[in-house]
């Protein structure tokens, strides 16, 4: 259509002038020369307008088909994205579950940390108890030393009394009684010391056993916590990769969609070119109607003014074709470009 219009513009003379010799000049059964010229020029203007209208129809159809295709592509892109996002939500769900498990382990560790001060207090109490028992034993050791000293003195006294043998049997009995009492006290003290030591040993053993038991549990919990922290770090890396990938897809989709929308806007904007073309046609038709009104008024007189009407029409045609020529460069499709209508910004 573009080539046809260009050929037409190249081949069409700029109006058929009234002063050109007419083949029917001087004959009585042919129309007067101005009338013939008016009709000829009118036909040429109609042909030019018809060509332009055909071009408009073809371009509009091409543009509409392109818009439909691009909107369909947009729909396909959007459907693919929705399908992808729905599918990838499963991966997000699995990631979320794993993170929850790791977080639960960390919560257990946090509980342990909360309990730790109370446990340390208990351990301290056990140690204090052991220290108290040992102090008490220290006091008993002093008593034993005192008894030992007293036994030593009695032994000396007994030795002195022995020197008075024969007459001091009573005194020896008193000393013996005292020695027995001391021995009994010493026995009690020994029992107390043994009991104290047993309690201290029991306290230590109990504390150690409890500490060992708790330490084993804590070691297991720490081991779980270490594994949980490692898993959590991996999960965060995976989550980062997951959302990075998703954002890349959404970004790519939006870029494609923006490109498609720009194409659609270009096609829609092209409709303004059509509007301008129609406006040029309207201007030419209005001018022609004006010339026809002049011709009707002047037809009866057949004077020079009437004879000039073909020139007016020729001028209207020339003006119209000149205007069309100015706009041919930008708004028509180029076969070398795959027939796509080019975007023209206004």
For the CB of residue 101, give the shortest distance to another protein in the complex, in Å. Answer: 11
Tabulate helix, strand, coil % of the chain (nearest 5): 85, 0, 15
In whole angstroms, the minimum distance from the beta carbon of 249 to another protein comes to 5
Which residues contact another protein by CB under 8 A? 80-81, 84, 87-88, 91, 94-95, 98, 234-235, 238, 241-242, 244-246, 248-249, 251-253, 255
Closer to another protein by CB, 47 or 234: give it: 234
Q: Yes or no: say if 323 and 249 are a contact pair by the CB < 8 Å rule.
A: no
Write down the least CB distance from residue 316 to another protein, Å.
48
State which residue, 73 or 238, has the beta carbon closest to another protein: 238
Compare residues 153 and 250 and give the one whose CB is closer to another protein.
250
Among residues 289, 290, 311, 293, the alpha carbon closest in space to that of 34 is found at: 311
46/255 with CB nearer another protein: 255
Of 131, 109, 117, which Cα lies nearest the Cα of 199? Answer: 131
Tokens linked to 166: 């024969």
Provide, rounded to whole angstroms, the least separation between the CB of residue 244 and another protein.
7
Q: How far is the CB of 199 from another protein (least distance, A)?
A: 55
Which one, 210 or 253, has the nearer CB to another protein? Answer: 253
Question: Following DSSP, what letter does each residue of 77-129 receive, concatenated?
Answer: HHHHHHHHHHHHHHHHHHHHHHHHHHHHHHHHHHHHHHHHHHHHHHHHHHHHH
Residue 256 Cβ, how far from another protein at the closest point, in Å?
A: 9
Q: Are 8 and 51 in contact (CB under 8 A)?
A: yes
Q: Which two tokens stand for residue 108?
A: 């257990």
Measured from the CB atom, the residue of 8 and 242 that comes closer to another protein is 242
Radius of gyration from C-alpha coordinates of the chain: 60
């Amino acid at each position: 259509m573009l080539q046809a219009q260009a050929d037409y513009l190249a081949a069409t003379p700029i109006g058929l002038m009234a002063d050109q010799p007419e083949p029917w000049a001087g004959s009585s059964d042919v129309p007067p020369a101005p009338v013939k010229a008016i009709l000829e020029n009118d036909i040429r203007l109609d042909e030019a307008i018809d060509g332009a209208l055909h071009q408009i129809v073809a371009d509009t159809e091409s543009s509409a088909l392109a818009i439909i295709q691009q909107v369909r592509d947009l729909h396909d892109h959007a459907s693919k994205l929705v399908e992808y996002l729905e599918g990838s939500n499963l991966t997000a769900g699995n990631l979320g579950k794993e993170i929850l498990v790791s977080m639960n382990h960390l919560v257990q560790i946090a509980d342990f940390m909360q309990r730790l001060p109370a446990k340390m207090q208990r351990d301290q109490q056990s140690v204090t108890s052991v220290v108290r028992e040992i102090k008490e034993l220290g006091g008993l050791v002093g008593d034993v030393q005192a008894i030992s000293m007293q036994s030593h003195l009695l032994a000396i006294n007994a030795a002195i009394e022995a020197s008075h043998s024969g007459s001091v049997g009573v005194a020896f009995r008193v000393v013996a009684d005292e020695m027995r009492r001391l021995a009994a006290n010493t026995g009690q003290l020994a029992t107390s010391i043994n009991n104290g030591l047993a309690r201290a040993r029991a306290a230590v053993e109990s504390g150690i056993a409890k500490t060992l038991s708790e330490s084993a549990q804590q070691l297991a919990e720490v081991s779980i916590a270490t594994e949980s922290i490692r898993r959590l770090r991996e999960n965060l890396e995976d989550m980062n990769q997951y959302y990075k990938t998703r954002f890349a897809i959404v970004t790519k989709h939006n870029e494609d969609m923006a490109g498609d929308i720009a194409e659609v806007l270009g096609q829609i904007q092209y409709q303004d070119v059509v509007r301008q073309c129609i406006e040029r046609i309207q201007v030419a038709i209005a001018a022609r109607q004006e010339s026809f009104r002049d011709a009707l008024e002047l037809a009866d007189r057949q004077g020079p003014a009437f004879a000039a009407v073909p020139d007016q029409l020729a001028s209207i045609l020339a003006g119209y074709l000149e205007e069309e020529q100015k706009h041919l460069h930008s708004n028509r499709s180029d076969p070398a470009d795959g027939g796509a209508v080019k975007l023209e910004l206004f």
